[in-house]
A and B are shown apart, each in its own frame.
Chain A
Amino acid sequence: MITATPFPMETPPRVLIELESDTGEVFESIRLYRDNQLVRTQPSTGGLTASAVDYFMAVQKETVYRAVTDQGVFTTTVLMASPNALLIHASQPTFTVEVGKDRTSTTTFLAIGDVTSSSAATLHRPIGSAVSIAKRSGPRPLGSRAVLLQTFTADQAIALDRILADDTPILFRMPGSWQVRFTDGWYQVTGYNEALPFDMPAEYYREWSLTLEPVAEPKLIVNEIWSWEALRDSGETWESLPLVWDTWVDLRINNRSA
Chain B
Amino acid sequence: MWEVSQDFLESIPVSGDIETVVTVEVPGQTIVLDIVSGAVSGQSGSNVRRQANLIVSGGDDKDLYEAVSQEGTEIAIKHGPSWGTQKEIIPVLTGFLSVNNLQRGDGSFPLTAADYGANLNDQALKPSVTQSGSMTRSQAIFELVAGSFPDMIFHDDGSDTGTLSTDQTWTGKRWEAVNTLATDGMTDVFFLPDGSLQRRAYPVAADPVWSVRAGGTSPVILTEKRARQLDSLFNAVQVLPGSANGTQDWSSVLVQITNPSSPRYPGRKGIGLRVKDIQAPTAMTVEEAMALGAAKLDQLQGASQTINLGILANVALEIGDAVEVYTSAWEGTPAESLIAIVDAFNIDLMDGSMTVDLRSGSSGI
Binding site for B on A (CB under 8 A): 122, 124-129, 133-137, 219
B29 contacts A by Cβ under 8 Å: no
**Chain B residue with minimal CB distance to A122?**
B351
B20–A137 contact, CB under 8 A? yes
B15–A133 contact, CB under 8 A? yes
B242 contacts A by Cβ under 8 Å: no
A124–B312 contact, CB under 8 A? yes
B352–A124 contact, CB under 8 A? yes
Nearest chain B CB to A91's CB is how many angstroms away?
14
A136–B220 contact, CB under 8 A? no
A133–B13 contact, CB under 8 A? yes
**Given A125-B222, A128-B216, 17 more pairs with CB closer than 8 A:** A122-B350, A122-B353, A124-B351, A124-B352, A124-B353, A126-B220, A126-B222, A127-B214, A127-B215, A127-B328, A128-B221, A135-B17, A135-B352, A136-B16, A137-B19, A137-B20, A137-B350
Number of A-B residue pairs with CB-CB distance less than 8 Å in the complex they form: 63
B351–A137 contact, CB under 8 A? yes
Complex CA gap A198/B98 in Å reads 59
B122 contacts A by Cβ under 8 Å: no
B18 contacts A by Cβ under 8 Å: yes
Complex CA gap A135/B224 in Å reads 20
B353–A126 contact, CB under 8 A? no
B14 contacts A by Cβ under 8 Å: yes
A residues near B18, Cβ cutoff 8 Å: 135-137
B residues near A134, Cβ cutoff 8 Å: 15-16
B351–A126 contact, CB under 8 A? no
Binding site for A on B (CB under 8 A): 13-20, 60-61, 214-216, 219-224, 312, 328-329, 350-353
A127–B353 contact, CB under 8 A? no
A residues near B222, Cβ cutoff 8 Å: 124-127
B328–A133 contact, CB under 8 A? no
Complex CA gap A93/B352 in Å reads 44
A127–B223 contact, CB under 8 A? yes
B215–A129 contact, CB under 8 A? yes
Complex CA gap A133/B19 in Å reads 16
Nearest chain A CB to B122's CB is how many angstroms away?
34
Complex CA gap A28/B21 in Å reads 37
B351–A128 contact, CB under 8 A? no
- With A133-B312, A137-B351 already in contact, the answer to whether A127 and B219 are too (CB < 8 A) is yes
A126–B219 contact, CB under 8 A? yes
B residues near A126, Cβ cutoff 8 Å: 13, 214-215, 219-222, 312
A128–B219 contact, CB under 8 A? yes
Name 18 A/B residue pairs within 8 A (Cβ), A-sorted.
A122-B351, A122-B353, A124-B222, A126-B214, A126-B215, A126-B219, A126-B220, A126-B221, A127-B214, A127-B219, A128-B215, A128-B219, A128-B221, A133-B15, A135-B351, A135-B353, A136-B17, A137-B350
Nearest chain B CB to A126's CB is how many angstroms away?
4
Nearest chain A CB to B219's CB is how many angstroms away?
4
A residues near B329, Cβ cutoff 8 Å: 128
A residues near B20, Cβ cutoff 8 Å: 137
Nearest chain B CB to A29's CB is how many angstroms away?
23
B residues near A124, Cβ cutoff 8 Å: 222, 312, 351-353
**Chain B residue with minimal CB distance to A128?**
B215
Nearest chain A CB to B330's CB is how many angstroms away?
9
Complex CA gap A54/B18 in Å reads 39
**Chain A residue with minimal CB distance to B60?**
A219
Nearest chain B CB to A241's CB is how many angstroms away?
24
B residues near A125, Cβ cutoff 8 Å: 222
A residues near B13, Cβ cutoff 8 Å: 126, 133
Nearest chain A CB to B80's CB is how many angstroms away?
12
Nearest chain A CB to B258's CB is how many angstroms away?
40
**Chain A residue with minimal CB distance to B61?**
A219
Nearest chain B CB to A221's CB is how many angstroms away?
13
B residues near A128, Cβ cutoff 8 Å: 214-216, 219, 221, 328-329
- With A126-B220, A128-B328, A129-B219 already in contact, the answer to whether A135 and B15 are too (CB < 8 A) is yes
Complex CA gap A137/B14 in Å reads 14
B224–A127 contact, CB under 8 A? yes
Complex CA gap A124/B310 in Å reads 10
**Chain B residue with minimal CB distance to A132?**
B15
Complex CA gap A135/B60 in Å reads 30
4 nearest A-B pairs in the assembled complex, by CB-CB distance: A128-B215, A135-B352, A126-B219, A122-B351
A137–B17 contact, CB under 8 A? yes
A residues near B216, Cβ cutoff 8 Å: 128
B16–A135 contact, CB under 8 A? yes
B residues near A137, Cβ cutoff 8 Å: 17-20, 350-352
A residues near B14, Cβ cutoff 8 Å: 133
**Chain B residue with minimal CB distance to A218?**
B60
Nearest chain A CB to B323's CB is how many angstroms away?
16
B residues near A135, Cβ cutoff 8 Å: 15-18, 312, 351-353
**Chain B residue with minimal CB distance to A124?**
B222
B352–A122 contact, CB under 8 A? yes
Q: Residue among B17, B219, B350, B353 with the most chain A CB within 10 A?
A: B219
Nearest chain B CB to A101's CB is how many angstroms away?
34
